[in-house]
Amino acid sequence: MLDFPLKTGVLAEIRGKKEGPTVALRADIDALPILEETHLPFASKVPGKMHACGHDFHTAAILGAARLLKEQEDAIEGTVKIVFQPSEENGGGAERTLETGALDDVQAIFGMHNKPDLPVGTIGITDGPLMAGVDRFEIELKAWARMPRHRKRALIHSSSRHMLLQLSKRL
Ligand SMILES: [Zn+2]
């Protein structure tokens, strides 16, 4: 474990016995403010907090990789930093991680994010950023009903707009 000034982030290092480059494996760790109702054996035990984005899997995968690397550290040529990065969901976590200087000596960073729409067993790769960026916005929907009995129709109209926005967000 290394000193890491971010409140919820964790940084570790596996130093090989031989000289070589320094690379990093990065996992995002934060949860979303959602009540998990999946009833899966690995469901969140904290009401109102859920790893709906799969960050619990990312954390477990990087922990597993770190364990395997530590078991084979004599064969590693270089250093592997393990980064558990906070604030992916809120945005800015990567920037704050870089600002600590903890990765200044890193020549390459390998990150991953699950993508449930890919078939099981498929790994998608790309060079450069992927799935990077957080956008937040607020929309105020107003419905007008001439007659009180039409309020329900106006509400349904607003709700269907909201559903369309959610669908378009997934495309
Ligand atoms: Zn995510």
CA of 132 to the centre of ligand 1 (A): 9
Structural contact between residues 22 and 106, judged by C-beta atoms closer than 8 angstroms: yes
Structural contact between residues 105 and 22, judged by C-beta atoms closer than 8 angstroms: yes
State pTM to two decimals: 0.71
CA of 144 to the centre of ligand 1 (A): 37
Within the chain, residue ranges assigned H as helices are 55-71, 93-99, 151-170
Structural domain boundaries in the chain:
10-111, 137-171
Structural contact between residues 111 and 26, judged by C-beta atoms closer than 8 angstroms: yes
Fold classification of 10-111 (topology level): Aminopeptidase (3.40.630)
Nearest to 8 by CA among 80, 81, 84: 84
How many residues appear in the chain? 171
CA of 133 to the centre of ligand 1 (A): 10
CA of 43 to the centre of ligand 1 (A): 16
CA of 88 to the centre of ligand 1 (A): 7
Tokens representing 65 are: 């990789």
Nearest to 81 by CA among 168, 14, 169: 14
| pLDDT, one tens digit for every residue, the chain (171 residues) | 877 777 788 899 999 999 999 999 999 988 888 999 999 998 999 999 998 888 899 999 999 999 999 999 999 999 999 999 988 877 788 888 899 999 999 999 998 888 888 899 998 888 877 776 666 677 776 767 777 777 777 777 777 776 776 656 554
CA of 105 to the centre of ligand 1 (A): 26
CA of 76 to the centre of ligand 1 (A): 29
Summarised one tens digit per residue, pLDDT across range 45-89 is: 999 999 888 889 999 999 999 999 999 999 999 999 999 998 887
Half-sphere exposure of 93 (CA within 13 A, CB side): 21
CA of 2 to the centre of ligand 1 (A): 24
CA of 54 to the centre of ligand 1 (A): 6
CA 166/CA 169 separation, integer angstroms: 5
Type of residue numbered 50? M
CA of 18 to the centre of ligand 1 (A): 34
Q: Which residues surround ligand 1, an ion (CB under 5 A)?
A: 53
63 alpha-carbon distance from chain centroid: 15
Beta strands 108-111 and 18-28, pairing class: parallel
